Amino acid sequence: MASGTIAFESHHDHNQCIEQAMDEARSLCKARNQRLTPIRELVLKLVWQSHKPLGAYEILPALAEAGFNSAPPTVYRALDFLQEQGLVHRIALLNAFIGCPHPGKSHHGCFLICRHCNTAVEADSRDAEALISQQASKLGFTTEQQSIEVLGCCPNCREHAEE
């Protein structure tokens, strides 16, 4: 399914990525009776400006420009909300946030992060997660949440920088 991997297509119509993400967010929040306030909506849009994970402190100036208060709690609150709603994910290796390309659907994703261009793609990891949970249960461990993050080289960067 391309909804995640489109990020590796360097000339895709990214405006459509953004619009789709915002539309889905609005309808999801409406359905859940959650408030996608102006700040939250703006933060989500900013996170979706690219497929590169964005640090919380990179969001602050844009909030200020838009006339909002711009202190760390503001952006972290918005990010917390968006994470709770499954609209963005946090990438632990980068201390950064990225939009989820298919929110709503309960999914098991891993992140493929390009070391060169920084693009991150959420790929399906259902099978791998099942395997890990199964191995863990053999040790008596009950899995509740998994974080799979992969560093490497994306197809674009491989092509442009043959070594």
Partner DNA sequence: TTTTGATTTGTTATAGTATAACGGAACATT
Partner DNA sequence: AATGTTCCGTTATACTATAACAAATCAAAA
Task: List residues binding DNA (CB under 7 A).
Answer: 34-35, 37-40, 55-57, 68-69, 71-74, 76-78, 80-81, 90, 95-96
Binding status of residue 45 toward Zn ion by CB under 5 A: no
Nearer to DNA, 3 or 69 (CB): 69
Nearer to Zn ion, 44 or 114 (CB): 114
3-state secondary structure 28-96: HHHHHCCCCCHHHHHHHHHHCCCCCCECHHHHHHHHHHCCCCCCHHHHHHHHHHHHHCCCEEEECCCCE
Residue bearing tokens 């098991």: 108
CA distance 123 to 154: 13
Binding status of residue 151 toward a second copy by CB under 8 A: yes
Binding status of residue 84 toward a second copy by CB under 8 A: no
- Among a second copy, Zn ion, DNA, none, what binds residue 17 when CB lies within 5 to 8 Å by partner kind? Zn ion
Applying CB under 5 A, among 26, 30, 35, 116 the residue interacting with Zn ion is 116
Applying CB under 8 A, among 38, 61, 72, 155 the residue interacting with a second copy is 155
Nearer to a second copy, 2 or 66 (CB): 2
The residue among 92, 134, 87, 129 whose CA lies nearest residue 108 is 129
How would you label 56-76 residue by residue, b for 16+ Cβ within 10 Å and e otherwise?
A: bebbbebbeeeebeeeeebbe
CB contact at 8 A, 79 and 56: yes
Nearer to DNA, 33 or 106 (CB): 33
Query: By the criterion CB under 8 A, which residues form the site for a second copy?
Result: 5, 8, 92-93, 110, 112, 114-115, 121, 123-125, 127-128, 131-133, 135-136, 139-155, 158
